[in-house]
Chains A and B, each alone.
Chain A
Amino acid sequence: MVDKIPILKMGKYLLLSIQVDMHDQLALDLQEDLTNQIVKHRAKGVLIDISSLEIVDSFIGRMLSHIANVSRILDAKVIVVGMQPAVAITLVELGLSLDGIATALNVEKGMARLEQMVADDELLELARGEERDTSAKAGD
């Protein structure tokens, strides 16, 4: 059985594609590995491709939510792409809505969206920085 899911670094993004039926420990290891890689590479965005996943049960759903939350706290955006239609239908019926997880139909759309999210964030930071500068000057 596969014991590690590779995480690829591309610029300020991390890319990973889950192509095996993950057992629970593998999912937990992935969570930890990804968190470390985000910090190590100061990644701004993470793209997770699940187009090969034939099922997403509550455990894997919870793992995706955890990854999204931890990444947010570490200032990285996450997008999950490529969910199969049958998996989406099943997830909703199971009762999982994947709240707070950005999704896209495929890798291409997901990457575009991720770049947009990161760019928006940088703009916002820039604007805040300017605000601070002007208020500092006004204080002089």
Chain B
Amino acid sequence: MAKKEILPLKQETDIVLIRQRVRQSAEVAKLGLVSQTKIVTAASEIARNALIYGGGGECVIEDTARNGRSAVHLVITDQGKGIEDINKAMVDGYTSGNGLGLGLSGAKRLVDEFAIESAPGKGTRVELWKWR
């Protein structure tokens, strides 16, 4: 059941591929249409962050289960300059670039479990879970 795939995240078109693969995993996990849309949207936001602010990285997509429920598990990492103040970065509307500042905070609201690890100079790792 557990199937793991590693996708590169080096250019904009990779975000589209990640969205498509996350959609497939969400279908495999038999998520409802709204849940599918939410995890795909969250993945898109985080992947774009990793590409634009983190200079790219990779996305690990895993078809798995959580507490007996089928689930999609994503880990998106980059080796960029990292986030100095994660609490600040998680606030709606905060952006260090020219985005809307909804990527991290919005993605967190769209998934069942969200974890972020980052330190200056050490890149960023975001983990997303959505289960049935």
By a beta-carbon cutoff of 8 Å, the part of chain A in contact with chain B is 1, 21-25, 54-59, 61-62, 84-87, 89-90, 93-96
Tell whether B84 is near chain A: CB-to-CB under 8 Å: no
- Chain B minimum-CB-distance residue to A89: B34
Interface of A is mostly: helix
Q: Which of B88-120 contact A (CB under 8 A)?
A: 92, 99-100, 102-103, 105-107, 109-110
B residues sitting closer than 8 Å to A (CB atoms) are: 12-13, 15-16, 19-20, 23, 33-34, 36-38, 40-41, 44-45, 48, 92, 99-100, 102-103, 105-107, 109-110
Task: Determine if A93 and B45 form an interchain contact, defined as CB atoms under 8 angstroms apart.
Answer: no
Identity of the chain B residue whose Cβ is nearest the Cβ of A25 in the assembled complex: B12
User: Can you name the residue of chain B whose Cβ is closest to the Cβ of A62?
Assistant: B100
Q: Contact between A90 and B110 (Cβ–Cβ < 8 Å)?
A: yes
Q: Secondary structure of the B side of the interface?
A: helix
Question: Contact between A94 and B102 (Cβ–Cβ < 8 Å)?
Answer: yes
Query: Are the CB atoms of B16 and A1 closer together than 8 Å?
Result: yes
Closest residue of chain B to A28 (Cβ to Cβ) is B12
Question: In the complex, what residue of chain A is closest to B37 when comparing beta carbons?
Answer: A86
CB neighbours of A93 from chain B (8 A): 38, 106, 109-110
**B residues less than 8 Å from A94 (CB atoms):** 41, 45, 102, 106-107, 109-110
Name the residue on A nearest B92 (C-beta).
A95
Q: Given the complex, which residues of A lie within 8 Å of B102, measured CB to CB?
A: 58, 94-96
B132 to chain A, nearest CB (A): 16
Complex contact A57–B45 (CB within 8 A) = yes
Task: Give Cα distance in the complex from A25 to B12, angstroms.
Answer: 8
Q: Find chain B residues with CB under 8 A from A25 CB.
A: 12
Please pick, from B13, B41, B48, B100, the residue contacting A55 in the complex, using a CB distance under 8 A: B41
B74 CB, min distance to chain A CBs, angstroms? 15
Q: A58-B99, A94-B109 are in contact. Are A87 and B15 (CB under 8 A)?
A: no
